[in-house]
Chains A and B, each alone.
Chain A
Amino acid sequence: MSLNRGDIENIARLARLALSEQEIPLYVEGLSRILVLVGELAPADTGQIEPMAHPLPGQRARLRADVATHTDAHDLYQRNAPQVQAGLYLVPRVIE
C-alpha cells in the first residue's frame, strides 16, 4: 500500500501538524513503508478472535468515587503556560 502527497497532507491536517515542503516527501516514503510492514497482518486468521482490550486477562480500568481529591493548584499549573493573563490562558482571537 502506498500513500501520495495528498494523503500525507490530509493526515497531517487531521493530526494538527504543520509540515514543511521538505518534510512531505519523507513522510510519503516513510509512511508507505510502514504500511507495507503493517500489511503483513492482513492474512492472519483472526476470524474467531476478539480484539484484545487489556494487557492483563480479566482486568478492567478501575474507577474511583466521584469526589474532589485535589486542592486548587491553578497558579502552579500556569507556571508552565506559554502565555497567561489574569489567570487565563491566552490564545489568538477565535471570535471576531
Chain B
Amino acid sequence: MSALHEMGVTELAAALRAREVSSVELTEAFLARIARHQGELNAFISITAEGALAQAAAADERLRTDGAPPLTGVPIAHKDIFCTREVKTTCGSRMLANFVSPYDATVVERLRAAGVVMLGKTNMDEFAMGSSNETSFFGPVRNPWDTSRVPGGSSGGSAAAVAARLAPAATATDTGGSIRQPAALCGVTGIKPTYGRVSRYGMIAFASSLDQGGLITISAEDAALLLGAMAGFDERDSTSVELPVPDYAAALDQPLKGLKIGLVKEFFDEGLDGAIKQHLLAALEVLRAQGALLKDVSLPSLPLSVPTYYVVATAECSSNLARFDGVRYGYRCENPRDLLDLYQRSRGEGFGAEVKRRIMTGTYVLSAGYYDAFYLKAQRVRQLISNDFERAFHEVDVLIGPTTPTTAFELGAKSGDPVTMYLNDIYTIGANLAGLPAMSVPCGLAQDLPVGMQIIGPHFAEERLLNVAHRYQRETDWHRRIAPRFA
C-alpha cells in the first residue's frame, strides 16, 4: 500500500472498506499534514479538526455495518464558498468573516450523505473574483511547487491543498476558469461540469449564469466518483437541470478508438508559452496512439470571450452583491450617520479592491444609456461564441487545448493591472459563456512548474471528458507527481 497521502479518493474508499485503515487514522493523517503546512501555504480558512474526527469516528461505526455509502470515511475539503451550518462560510471576504450559514449547500449535504468527512474550508479569491488567490481577505495562498508563486484562482486553496496532499480532493467552483486554471497551475485534475449539472443552492453567487460547482482531485477516476455523488437535479436551484446522473465511473475505460478531437486554432495562438505547447502536443500523441483522430477547428469569435465575460460577469456580480447591505447579515461599519452611510461604508469597508472594481464595472455597464452598448452587445457576442462551439461539436467529440497561457507566475506579478490578470483566463472563459463542461488534466512540467491540458465537451458530456482524461492518465503519471517538498 502506498503512503496514505499519496492515495486518491478511489483507493482510499477501497482501503477503508477493506479495513486496511480507519477513517479516524486517515483523518488524523491529513489533519497532521494540514497543521504542518498551513503556515507556508495558507490553503485553508477554517480547519475543522474536532468536527472531522467526530465525523470520522461515526464513519468507522458505519463501516462496520452493511450498506455504508461508497465514500464513507473519506476526508475532503470544501471551498469556503459552499455554505456549511455550524462552520463559518466567509467566501474569502471581510464582509462574511463571521458568517455562519443557517443551512448547508446541496453539494455539502449530498457529499455528507455519501459518507465524506469534512477537513475544513479552503481559501479562495474574495467572492471567487480573481485568478491568483491574492484577493482573499485571509491572505494569499502559495503554490506548493514554488511558494513564491501563485496557485491560481479563485479555487487556489482547493488546488494547493490537493497538490500538497493536505486533502485527497476538494470541492471548487468555476465562473471563468476558477477550477481549471488553479488545477493547471498546481498540477492537479479539475472538472467544471455543464451549467445546471451541480446544484448552486448554498453556493454563494458571483455571476449566476456562469457559476458552476465542481471538483479538484488527483485523478479523473476520483473526480468521476465524487461527481456522481454531488451532481443531479435540485428543486432548490431554479437552473438545475432535470436529467439523470450517469454512472461516471462505469464509462472511464471506454476505448478512444475513433474519438474525434478538435484542436482549436485560436488556442494555439502567439500568446501560448512554447513549453506548454510542446507538452500539449506530446499529450495529444498519447491520445492519438490510442486511436483518437485529430482535426483542426476554428472558433472565430472566441478571442472576444474575455471582454464578453467582463461585461456579463460584472453585471451579474453588481446585482448579486447588492444583497450585502450591512443590515441582515455580514459586516457593518462603526457608528453610521444615517441609512445611506450605513450601506455605503459597510460595503466600502467590507469588500476588497477587486470586488469593488467588478461591482462598479457591472454597475456602469448596466446603467442608463450604456445597457444596450455594453450589456446587450456582450450577450449577443456570447451567443456568437456559443454558436461557434455548437458548430465545432458537429464535427468533433471534444476540444483540446491549453488551460492557461503560462505556468504559475510570481505573487504580485500581475496584481497591479486588472486587464493583465484577466487575460489569464483567456482559454477557460469560453466554456463558461457557453455553459459547457470542461476539465484540466496535468500533462507535464515546464521548469518544474505544472502544465495543464484542457478538454472541453458538449453539454452534459462529463462522461466523455472523464473517459478521455482517465485514458490519458492510465498512460502517464503527471497527475501522480507531487512537489518534492510535499512528497
Contact = CB atoms under 8 A, between A and B. Distances in A.
Q: Do A and B bind each other?
A: yes
Interface residues of B, number: 74
Task: Assign chain A's interface to a size class.
Answer: 35 or more
B238 A55 contact: no
B379 A41 contact: no
B364 A64 contact: no
Interface string B337-352: 1111111110111010
A44 B241 contact: no
Given A30-B418, A89-B328, A56 B383 contact: no
A91 B336 CA distance: 9
A85 interface: no
A31 B359 CA distance: 11
B357 A27 contact: yes
Given A16-B344, A38-B307, A56 B195 contact: yes
Contact of B356 (A27, A40, A42, A77): A27
- Chain A: interface secondary structure? loop
Interface in A58-75: 59, 61-64, 73
Contact of A46 (B360, B363, B380): B380
A44 B209 CA distance: 22
A94 interface: yes
B405 interface: no
A52 B383 contact: yes
A66 B374 CA distance: 36
B311 A11 contact: no
Contacts of B195: 55-56
B381 interface: yes
Contact of A34 (B304, B332, B339, B361): B361
Contacts of A64: 235, 238
B348 A82 contact: no
B327 interface: yes
A56 B241 contact: yes
B102, B194, B322: most-surrounded residue (chain A CB, <10 A): B102
Nearest to B100: A80
A68 to B, nearest CB: 15
A52 B310 contact: no
B246 interface: no
B336 A26 contact: no
B367 interface: yes
Contacts, number: 175
B306 interface: yes
Contacts of A21: none
B419 interface: yes
Contacts of B326: 82
Contact of A77 (B102, B310, B351, B382): B102
A38 B365 contact: yes
Contacts of B348: 17-20
B242 to A, nearest CB: 8
Given A17-B351, A51-B379, A59-B196, A37 B434 contact: no
B46 to A, nearest CB: 16
A41 B339 contact: no
B353 to A, nearest CB: 7
B339 A92 contact: yes
B459 A37 contact: no
A60 B195 CA distance: 13
B70 to A, nearest CB: 29
Contacts of B384: 44, 46, 49
Interface in B141-164: none
B239 interface: yes
Nearest to A90: B327
B450 interface: no
Contact of A44 (B301, B336, B337, B373): B301
Given A15-B363, A82-B332, A41 B338 contact: no
A14 interface: yes
A36, A39, A80, A89: most-surrounded residue (chain B CB, <10 A): A80
Given A14-B367, A44-B301, A23 B353 contact: yes
A33 to B, nearest CB: 5
Contacts of A63: 238
A51 B315 CA distance: 15
A65 to B, nearest CB: 11
A53 B435 CA distance: 12
B381 A46 contact: yes
Contacts of A61: 238-239
B386 interface: yes
19 contacts: A14-B363, A15-B359, A18-B341, A27-B356, A37-B307, A37-B419, A41-B311, A44-B377, A50-B380, A55-B195, A55-B433, A62-B238, A64-B235, A80-B102, A80-B328, A82-B329, A91-B327, A92-B341, A94-B339
Interface of A: 8, 11-12, 14-20, 23, 26-27, 30-31, 33-42, 44, 46, 49-57, 59, 61-64, 73, 76-77, 79-83, 89, 91-94
